Amino acid sequence: MLTYSQAANPTDRVSRDIDHVLAHGRTHYQEYLFFRSQAHGVCVALDGDIQSCESDEAIYHEALAHPALLIHPRPRKVLIMGGGEGATAREALRHDCVERVVMVDIDREFVDLCRELIPGWSAGVYDDPRLELHYEDINEYLERTGERFDVVIGDLVDVQDWDAPAGDLYSRDFYAALTGCMRDGGVFASQAGALSTVDMDNHNRIRARIAKSLPRVRSYGLVVPSFYHMWSFVLGSAAPLDCGGASLAECFDERVGGRGVGLPATGSGTLAGAFLLPRLLADALKG
């Protein structure tokens, strides 16, 4: 029996049996594993962390992309950092006001594997003329580009070892460069790992770093069943993250309708409700 397992914390573990290994190897940048699980369909892991699974990747990617896009009154230009599966771009392009999406992923080999092995994740986005794809280090891209974006979405690997190179992705310099390429009123969204009563550290570290560059931050989370966790996200902005004062629920509902966005996996109510974290978690947020 072949099993994939991942520590939830130093003493807990989630494991899933594997039906078939589609691909296992290393690109120049990371170790990848594509496998099929009976419960969750094809799952993708990078460096030992599940990135998404067929059964509910849509929940994850809708939750990652849409709150930032919906809180912004009219996002036209979107930057996606990472997002190699192509699903974050797929979600961003659902907003009919979005005119241009730039996706910057360093790992061409991984992007190609995703296009070959899980084409449903990208669902044709690479044919959409609004999408521009760069295989490049995001730090270098941020330095060289003069372009400014309404919404920036960080779909990068989870940072577990803060001393490892990947930690740079969320470094202070990185956030400084990032804010430099956001338009006025721009909104930044990042996944921020599992959120639980047991370990808030990862989330709070990401939240605190974002808060250094962007004065307004909001956390939200919702369960992604195949992750066996509430998954968390952080929004950051120089502008208020409040939909101009309306309730998030009404604002999301209205904008989803106005922009022709389908949310087949979540719904605008679910996305707004994701900001209502249980107090045991909300009280432990820092930054």
> What is the β-pairing status of strands 41-46 and 49-53?
antiparallel
- Please state the length of the chain: 287
The reply on whether position 16 binds a second copy by CB under 8 A is yes
CB-nearer residue toward a second copy: 222 or 251: 222
**Nearest to a second copy of 81, 243 (CB atom):** 243
- Closer to a second copy by CB, 12 or 173: give it: 12
Q: Is 164 in the site for a second copy (CB under 8 A)?
A: no
Contacts of 91 (CB under 8 A, 6+ apart): 61, 62, 64, 65, 66
Q: Which stretch binds a second copy (CB under 8 A): 4-12, 143-151, 171-179, 201-209?
A: 4-12
One of 120, 167, 185, 269 touching a second copy (CB under 8 A): 269
d(CA 257, CA 269): 12
Closer residue to a second copy, CB minimum distance, 101 or 272: 272
By beta-carbon proximity to a second copy, the closer residue of 39 and 164 is 39
| CB 100 within 8 Å of CB 130 | yes
Tokens 């707004």 map to which residue? 272
**DSSP strand E in 98-256: where?**
100-104, 131-134, 149-155, 182-195, 216-224, 229-237
Q: Which of 155, 158, 161, 283 is catalytic?
A: 155
- Catalytic site includes residue 173: no
97: enclosing H helix or E strand = none
Give min distance, CB of 171 to a second copy, in A. Answer: 27
Instruction: Pick between residue 35 and residue 175 the one whose CB is nearest to a second copy.
Output: 35
H helices of 118-171, where? 119-122, 138-144
Check residue 228 for interaction with a second copy (CB under 8 A).
yes
Per the CB < 8 A criterion, the answer to whether 179 and 212 are in contact is no
The set of residues, in sequence order, having a beta carbon less than 8 Å from that of 230 and lying 6+ positions away, is 194, 195, 196, 221, 222, 223, 281
Q: What residue type is assigned to position 1 of the chain?
A: M
Shortest reach from residue 203's CB to a second copy, in Å = 12
Whole-number minimum distance, CB 85 to a second copy, in Å? 18
* 86 conformational bin, left if phi > 0, alpha if psi -120 to 50, beta if neither: left
Distance CA 72, CA 240 (A): 10
DSSP lists the bridge partners of residue 80 as 103, 153
Does 9 sit near a second copy (CB under 8 A)? Answer: yes
* 171 binds a second copy per the rule CB under 8 A: no
Q: Position of tokens 């502008």?
A: 239
Q: Does 282 bind a second copy (CB under 8 A)?
A: yes
Helix (H), strand (E) at residue 130: none
24 touching a second copy, by CB under 8 A: yes
Judged by CB under 8 A, the stretch of 35-43, 83-91, 119-127, 210-218 that binds a second copy is 35-43
Using CB under 8 A, which of the segments 83-91, 115-123, 156-164, 218-226 binds a second copy? 218-226
**How many residues sit in the footprint of a second copy (CB under 8 A)?**
60
Would you tell me which residues interact with a second copy (CB under 8 A)? 1-6, 8-18, 20-21, 24-25, 33, 37-40, 48, 55-56, 58-59, 195-198, 221-223, 225-226, 228-230, 249, 263-267, 269-270, 272-274, 276-280, 282
Catalytic residues: 155
